[in-house]
Amino acid sequence: MLKLTERREVFAVLALLLISAVIIVLQYFYLERSLVIDSRSALRAEVRDDRPFNGASVSAIRQDQRGLEMSCDLIKSDFAWPYCEVVIDLSRGELDGVMQGVNLTDFDRVGLWLQQGDKIQPSIRFQIHNFNPIYSKMGERETYKYHAVEFYQEFNTYPLWIDLKSFHVPTWWLTLHQLSLNNVAVDLSNIVTLGFVTGSRVEPANYQLTIERIEFRGKLFESASVFMLLIGIWALAAVVFLSQRFTLARKDLAQVKRQKQVWEKKATLDPLTGAVNRIGAHKAFAKQIYSANKSDDFSIIFMDIDHFKRINDSLGHGVGDKVLKQFVQLLRKNIRDSDMIVRWGGEEFMLICHNTALSPAVRLAEKLRAVIQAESWSEAVVMTSSFGVAQMRDESLENFIERADQALYGAKNNGRNCVVPAP
């Protein structure tokens, strides 16, 4: 069963996948810009032919609801390259001596809706003309940079879509104008005219060409930008995910540390009385022995409840447990915060006293002995306790504890309810 956080992460990943899929679908199929030129556009068009070059071809143009219809009588003559051409003007006036046209750099393909008459032209040349003040002159159309692509009837479709990358600058135009390398490439930034010209394989005849529609299409957003956006979204999601994971890991680690401390504390406490057990006592001994101030006075007091077995035997272990709890509570009320109560075993307890020499430890033991004797105990039990006290010398821990234990036995042998210091 997934945790709530894990379920949220799964939902977030699924949401990101869905968003990414929607963005990709929109990018490839829907998010497009278009520029349409058809009969509904305010077209400005004219025809040109080879007569200015001593040719004999004659072209004419007519505009109706279908679009632009060019009629061409292509005639052989002394001119080597007879042609007819229809030119569509896209210019938008002049600004500071620069012809203002249409920027086609945001488009990646052009669609052509063309119809031919009974006599089919084997090939048609489509031209796009750019105005750039570096090499173009107002009113001199030959100085507008030519971008051309020629397509053949056997490969035509309706409509015919052409990738704008297929256009090239004709070699004859580059040779004629001798541009620097910086200006020889395709430039669609300021298109002022479009042209349809009879192709290079066209034989003399009468041709009809109807231009119904021209449409430039391009992505509303560049694919590279869209994919960078997707990468950015996923990268941001990864950062958020890792940040949350890091935060959760820190919280989990803190929780583990707290739980560890709880279990460590439980592991060092006696579950009945809440006093420290032997494990906790040995940790306290190790801390004292290996501390920088291990030369400070250090004493322990062994305590044993007198005749405790009689309480269990006569009144039951339940009463015995109550007595033990009350015993520890009474000790806590009469010792310092720095002193540690240890349940050493059964009814035997130890008091670890840091920074305490033997004499103050003996006085504390006498105080506790009197307090225990004067206490009102559960079930009207009469209680006393015997004490053995020792101060640590230059000796092993085992020897130190053994001396205190022997002092306790001395107190028991002396009739109990007394304090005996270790020699």
Give catalytic residues, as residue numbers: 347
Task: Give the integer Cα–Cα distance in Å for 372 and 417.
Answer: 10
Residue 287 has which token pair? 């801390």
Strands (E), 92-153: 94-95, 98-99, 109-116, 123-130, 145-152
C-alpha closest to that of 400 among 391, 409, 408: 391
C-alpha closest to that of 104 among 47, 46, 163: 163
DSSP 381: -
Strands (E), 276-380: 298-305, 340-345, 348-354
Task: Give the integer Cα–Cα distance in Å for 292 and 275.
Answer: 26
Give the length of the chain: 423
Residue 332: in which H helix or E strand, if any? helix 317-333
C-alpha closest to that of 80 among 50, 102, 112: 50
**Is there a contact between 364 and 335 (Cβ–Cβ < 8 Å)?**
yes
Residue 417 has which token pair? 């309810």
Residue 181 has which token pair? 């390398």
Residue 372 has which token pair? 């225990």
